[in-house]
Structure 1
Amino acid sequence: MTGEPSHPVHSGDWRVSHTEREAVVERLSKAAAEGRLDLTELDGRLERALTAKTYADLVPLTADLPPDVPPAPRQPLVLQGGLSGITRAGHWQVPVKVVAHGGMGGVKLDFTQAACGLPEVELEVHGQAGGVTVVVPDGWAVETGQVNPGLGGLKDKVTSPRLPGTPLIRVSGTGGAGGVVIRHPNSWERRKLRREQPR
Structure 2
Amino acid sequence: MTAGLPEPVRRNELRVSHDERDAVVERLTAAAAEGRIDLSELDVRLDLALNARTYADLAPLTADLPPEFAADPVQPLVLDGGLTGATRTGRWRVPARITVSGGMGSAKLDFTQTECRLPEIEIEAHGQMGSVTIIIPDGWVAETTAMEPGLGGFWDKTTSDRLPRTPLIRLTGTGGAGGVVIRHPNSWERRTQRRKQGG
User: TM-score band, normalised by the shorter chain?
Assistant: 0.5 to 0.7
1:106 is aligned to: 106
Q: Give distance in 2, aligned partners of 1:150 and 1:184.
A: 22
Q: Give, in angstroms, the shift of residue 187 of structure 1.
A: 1.5
Q: Quickly say closer, same or farther: Cα 1:68–1:98, change in 2 above 3 A.
A: closer
**Counterpart Cα distance in 2 of 1:159 and 1:69:** 36
**Structure-2 residue corresponding to 1:133:** 133
Q: Which runs of 5+ in 1 are unaligned?
A: 1-24, 37-65
User: What is the number of equivalent residue pairs in this alignment?
Assistant: 145
* 1:183 and 2:186 are equivalent in the alignment: no
Distance 1:72 1:189, change over 3 A: closer
Q: Residue in 1 aligned with 2:88?
A: 88
> 1:150-189 residue pairs with structure 2 within 5 A?
150-159=150-159, 161-189=161-189
Give 1:130 shift.
0.3
Are the structure 2 counterparts of residues 111 and 73 from structure 1 closer, same or farther at C-alpha, using a change threshold of 3 Å? closer
1:159 CA drift (Å) = 2.2
Aligned residue number for residue 38 of structure 2: none
- Aligned partner of 2:59 in structure 1 is 34
Gaps of 5+ in 2: 1-9, 15-53
Aligned match of 1:78? 78
Q: Which has the larger radius of gyration?
A: 1
Deviations 1:63-101 (A, max 9, x none): xxx989984665210001001101111111111011101
Q: Alpha carbons of 1:26 and 1:70: their partners in 2 closer, same or farther (altered >3 Å)?
A: farther
Partner of 1:143: 143
1:51 is matched with none
1:175–1:72 Cα change, 3 Å: same
- d(CA) in 1 for partners of 2:156 and 2:101? 18
C-alpha separation between the residues in 1 aligned to 2:69 and 2:134?
36
Corresponding position: 1:97 with 2:97:
yes
SS in 2 for 1:188: helix
Q: Which residue type is aligned with residue 98 of structure 1?
A: I
Aligned residues of 1:142 and 1:158 also touching (Cα < 8 A): yes
Aligned match of 2:34: none
Supply the distance in 1 between the matched residues of 2:83 and 2:69 (Cα, whole angstroms): 41
Rounded to whole Å, the distance in 2 between the matches of 1:184 and 1:136 is 5
Counterpart position of 1:116: 116
In structure 1, the residue matched to 2:4 is none
SS at match of 1:34: helix
Check the 8 A contact 1:146/1:171 in 2, yes or no.
yes
AA of the residue aligned to 1:181: V
Measured at CA, do residues 26 and 163 of structure 1 come closer, stay the same or move farther in structure 2, by a change above 3 Å? closer
Q: Quick one: distance in 1 between partners of 2:166 and 2:55? A: 31
Q: CA RMSD in A?
A: 2.9
Percent identity over the alignment is 59
